[in-house]
Amino acid sequence: MLLVRAIVRPEKKDEVLYELSTAGFHAATVFDVVGRGKQKGIKVGGIVYDEIPKVMIMTAVRDEDKDDVVSVILRTAKTGENGTFGDGKIFISPIEEAYTVSTGAKGL
């Protein structure tokens, strides 16, 4: 099992969630977050914004589904034909165990 955490632009949240669901990946947890990447924020006029609003979409998937999920997120979260700085980041981490609280069932 893997945990996929995607940081995307807020305006891309609904589209990414829709496309993930259409591809069969219905479960997700969504957080409003702030952060900055390699560009160290953005400068608009004379004002520097260090922390940019983003959305984190988190989903647990089987190992064999990783490439499909990443592909959907990359395709959907990208802005413009070639993408733009600030489009986001995807992090993949192993999950040692997972349990359903209501039933105690182990696994996804």
In the chain, where are the structural domains located? 2-94
Class of domain 2-94: alpha beta
CB 15 within 8 A of CB 78: no
- DSSP letter at 55? E
Cα separation, 75 vs 39, whole angstroms: 22
Full-model pTM: 0.88
The per-residue pLDDT for 60 is: 97
At 70 the three-state DSSP class reads helix
The per-residue pLDDT for 48 is: 77
Contact residues for 40 (Cβ-Cβ < 8 A; gap 6+): 50
Nearest to 33 by CA among 59, 56, 9: 56
CB 35 within 8 A of CB 54: yes
Cα separation, 32 vs 54, whole angstroms: 6
pLDDT tens-digit profile, the chain (108 residues): 999 999 999 999 999 999 999 999 999 999 999 988 776 767 778 887 778 899 999 999 999 999 999 999 999 999 988 888 789 999 999 999 999 999 999 998
